[in-house]
Every structure is written in C-alpha cells, then in structure tokens.
Amino acid sequence: MSTPNPTEGELAILRVLWSRKAAMTVREMHEVLSRDKDTAYTTVLKMMTIMAEKGLVTRDESERSHTYVPVHDEPVVQASLLKDLMRRAFSGSALTLVQRAIDDDIASPEELDAMSKLIAQAKAKRKR
C-alpha cells in the first residue's frame, strides 16, 4: 500500500497526533488546532473524515466519541513527501535537492556538519 501525501491541513492534524502519541477525538483536535488558528469544529471533523477515507488515519467507532490515530509514523510520511518533492521539483535527484539547500543557505553550519556525518555513515554502511 502506498503512503498518501497529506495536504498542509492534514499534516497539521498528523503532527498533533504524532506529538500526542495517543488517539484523539475531533473535539480534542479542534481544541489544539484552534489555539493557533480560528478553525471551525465542522472543518476539523470533515478533514479527519477525509483523512480516514484516504488512509492517513484510522477511526475507532467503538465509543460514542470516535477517536483517530495516524496510520503511518512520521518518518514514513516524511519519506513519502520527500520522494514526491524530489520527483516533481528535482527530477528525482537527491543531489540537486541537497545542492539547492546548500546554495540557498537553507542549511545552517550545524546542519551541514550533521549532513557530512550522515553521508559518511551512509557510505560506510553501503561498503559493507
């Protein structure tokens, strides 16, 4: 089964679910999302219903208040989004994606150091 690519709004909901590490009701999600942005309860309900249909979350209907949990862990969704971005914006090239991040000063010196270490580890792993 392929991992669906969530929209920005869906990602906001998934981030809350991932951070809570627990099932949440629509009401609980609405309370959290409304702290940062005025969001209607019915909008959150509709989004979570769509997310269940898309396979981003599962809905437990065993109680009066349905609860939702993410289907995929955060790294799985990030990998799917990254692959899609690489394919669409960088012709599938990881090198071009990283080069753009370096050229446009997106990565801090600390992140560049961390990337160097990750590259060295990946090279060592592949030589085994």
Looking at residue 90, its amino acid is F
- pLDDT category at 2 given cuts 50, 70, 90 is low
3-state helix, strand, coil in the chain (%, to 5): 65, 10, 30
Query: What does the H/E/C string look like for 26-43?
Result: HHHHHHHHHCCCCCCHHH
Give residue-wise pLDDT tens across range 27-83.
Answer: 999 999 999 999 999 999 999 999 999 999 999 999 889 999 999 999 999 999 999
